[in-house]
Chains A and B, each alone.
Chain A
Amino acid sequence: MIEVLSLSKFYGKKAVVEDVSVTIQPGKITSFIGPNGAGKSTLLSMVSRLLDADTGEVLIDKADARKMKSNEFAKRVSILKQSNYMNVRLTIRELVSFGRFPYSKGRLTDEDERIVDQSLEYMHLTDMQDQYLDELSGGQRQRAFIAMVIAQDTEYILLDEPLNNLDMKHSVQIMKILRRLVDDLGKTVVIVLHDINFASVYSDWIVAMKDGRVVKNGPTEDIIQSDALKEIYDMDIPIQKMDGCRICVYFNS
Chain B
Amino acid sequence: MRNSMKMAVLALIAAGCCAIYLFHDLNGSFDYALPRRVVKVVAMVITGLTIAYATVVFQTITHNRILTPSIMGLDSLYLLLQTLIIFFLGSGHMLAVNKEVNFLISVAVMIMFALLLYRFLFKKGGQQIYFLLLVGIIVGTFFSSISTFFQVLIDPNEFQIVQDRMFASFNNINSDLVWLAVVIVGGVLIYAWRFIKYLDVLSLGRETAINLGVPYDTIVKQMLIIVAIFISISTALVGPITFFGLIVANLSYQFFKTYRHRTLITGAIIMSIIALVGGQWVVERVFTFSTTLSVIINFFGGVYFIYLLLKARNAQ
Contacts and interface: CB of A to CB of B under 8 A. Distances in A.
Contacts of A85: 63, 205
Contacts of A89: 257, 259
A202 interface: no
A52 interface: yes
Contacts of A106: 197, 200-201
Interface of B: 63-65, 125-126, 197, 200-201, 203-208, 210-215, 257, 259
B212 A74 contact: yes
Contacts of B208: 84, 86, 98
Nearest to A94: B259
Interface string A78-120: 1111001111111000110011011001100000000000000
A252 B149 CA distance: 70
Residue with the highest number of chain A CB atoms closer than 10 Å, among B126, B205, B208: B208
A50 interface: yes
B210 A50 contact: yes
Contacts of A149: 211
B201 A101 contact: yes
Nearest to A80: B211
A46 B47 CA distance: 43
Residue with the highest number of chain A CB atoms closer than 10 Å, among B65, B201, B257: B201
B205 A84 contact: yes
B205 A86 contact: yes
A213 B250 CA distance: 48
Contact of A86 (B64, B204, B212): B204
A188 interface: no
A79 B213 contact: no
B63 A87 contact: yes
Contacts of A84: 204-205, 207-208
A101 B201 CA distance: 8
Contacts, number: 68
Nearest to B63: A87
Interface of A: 48-50, 52, 69-75, 78-81, 84-90, 94-95, 98-99, 101-102, 105-106, 149, 152
Given A89-B257, A90-B259, A105-B197, A79 B211 contact: yes
A149 B201 CA distance: 14
B207 A101 contact: no
A78 B203 CA distance: 18
Nearest to B210: A50
Contacts of B64: 87
Residue with the highest number of chain A CB atoms closer than 10 Å, among B64, B210, B212, B257: B212
Contacts of A102: 212-213
22 contacts: A48-B210, A49-B210, A50-B207, A50-B211, A70-B214, A70-B215, A74-B211, A74-B212, A78-B211, A80-B211, A85-B205, A86-B203, A86-B205, A87-B64, A87-B65, A87-B203, A88-B259, A94-B259, A98-B200, A101-B213, A102-B212, A102-B213
B253 to A, nearest CB: 9
Residue with the highest number of chain A CB atoms closer than 10 Å, among B201, B204, B205: B204
A70 B210 contact: yes
A95 B208 CA distance: 11
Nearest to A154: B211
A98 B212 contact: yes
Residue with the highest number of chain B CB atoms closer than 10 Å, among A49, A79, A106: A106
Residue with the highest number of chain B CB atoms closer than 10 Å, among A50, A73, A87: A87
A70 B205 contact: no
Contacts of A52: 125-126
Contact of A48 (B201, B204, B211): B211
A33 B255 CA distance: 47
Residue with the highest number of chain B CB atoms closer than 10 Å, among A48, A88, A98: A88
Contacts of B214: 70, 101
Contacts of B212: 74, 98-99, 101-102, 152
Nearest to A78: B211
B259 A75 contact: no
B213 A88 contact: no
A152 B210 CA distance: 13
Contacts of B206: 50
B213 A73 contact: yes
Given A48-B210, A98-B201, A106-B201, 14 more contacts: A49-B210, A50-B211, A52-B125, A74-B212, A75-B213, A81-B207, A84-B207, A85-B63, A86-B205, A87-B64, A88-B203, A94-B259, A99-B212, A101-B212
A179 to B, nearest CB: 22
A79 B84 CA distance: 52
Contacts of B125: 52
